[in-house]
Structure 1
Amino acid sequence: MVSLWVVDSFERKDVQRDLLATLLVNLTKSREGLLTQGQLIKGFESVLTTLEDAVCDYPRAPEFLGRIFARVITENVIPLREMGRLIHEGGEEPGRLLEVGLAADVLGSASEIIATEKGISVLNEILTSSNLRLEDFSASRS
């Protein structure tokens, strides 16, 4: 369900992607536990598995996905450390997104959105607490 919604959002407008991000956050944070963090992670893993193919039809898919990820991170639904792991290991084969440069695109987009919407100090705080090294996401890019 999560994967279908996110991939479908690639052909929508930013407002609709923002609404989807809000929906995912609210479903995960609800007292009823309508969507667990694990289910959300599985959905994102599925999207990352097919991202390389999705870029053929939706060249801005990494940017759009980063926008959704930024919201999930800033709303403390999934920590950046876990999102970074998903991105780093993502692709049809583990690490494929890193090899083709899409990992850097997704993380870069998420970082840019966080900096724009929450400020550079919030981004720096999130990055510091995650212990992620941004250079690890572009190391294989040539």
Structure 2
Amino acid sequence: AKDEKEVALCIEELNAPSFYPSLVSLWVNDSFERKDMERELLAKLFVGLYNGGYNLLSKPQLIEGLSSVLASLEDALSDSPRAAEYLGRLLARFVVEKILVLQDVGKLIEEGGEEPGHLVQEGIAADVLGAVLEWIKTEKGDSFLKEAKTSSNLKLEDFRPQHLKRSKLDAFMLT
């Protein structure tokens, strides 16, 4: 949807805040099958709905929707092998836009999966968090990334299962 204002009006008319986490989940899962431009528009829409004057989406609603996405991420990967990367970029955008802090994102990822912690066991958590950190570094630079990592108190090794020899997190574990 290219018209953020119209989407906001439709959501406002819907007037079903309890459904907003489901909207987040549906839209994010659908975005895995879309082009980069459409994923970028979705990220902008979420930012606008959260803090762009509409204030239609609360942090708890966003977190609940993202938690649902993470619960089904393993299934999504079979249809869209880059879903972890795409989700990581979106989560990074939320950090950069100050919607979520890296600590919130880390907690979501670490607890994600069909069972809490399942994404860590499967190595998917490392892929998602690696994509988050990579996008933040690319978009905001090393100093922003370092500050986000330091203030989050995340232990990156907690996101990497013991059986993995290499992961996307390796580059960030040394810095």
Q: Tell me if the contact between 2:48 and 2:54 (Cα under 8 Å) persists in the aligned partners.
A: no
Identify the residue that residue 99 of structure 1 maps to in structure 2: 121
Q: Tell me if the contact between 1:101 and 1:140 (Cα under 8 Å) persists in the aligned partners.
A: no
Report the Cα offset of residue 19 of structure 1. Answer: 1.3
Q: Does 1:20 align with 2:39?
A: no
Among 61, 68, 71, which residue is 1:39 paired with?
61
Among 117, 121, 142, which residue is 1:120 paired with?
142
Residues 1:62 and 1:141: Cα distance change in structure 2 (over 3 Å) = farther
Q: Tell me if the contact between 1:100 and 1:141 (Cα under 8 Å) persists in the aligned partners.
A: no
Structure 2: which amino acid aligns with 1:8? D
How many residues were matched structurally? Answer: 142
Over alpha carbons, which structure has the higher Rg? 2
Alignment gaps of 5+ in structure 2: 1-22, 165-175
Identify the residue that residue 78 of structure 1 maps to in structure 2: 100
Percent identical pairs in the alignment equals 56
Q: Tell me if the contact between 1:49 and 1:91 (Cα under 8 Å) persists in the aligned partners.
A: yes
Moved over 3 A (4+): none
Report the Cα offset of residue 10 of structure 1. Answer: 0.4
Query: What CA distance in whole angstroms lies between the structure 2 residues aligned with 1:93 and 1:35?
Result: 26
Structure 1: which amino acid aligns with 2:124? L
Return the TM-score normalized by structure 1: 0.96
Q: Does 1:69 align with 2:69?
A: no
Q: Tell me if the contact between 1:70 and 1:110 (Cα under 8 Å) persists in the aligned partners.
A: yes
Coordinate RMSD, CA, aligned: 1.0
Alignment gaps of 5+ in structure 1: none
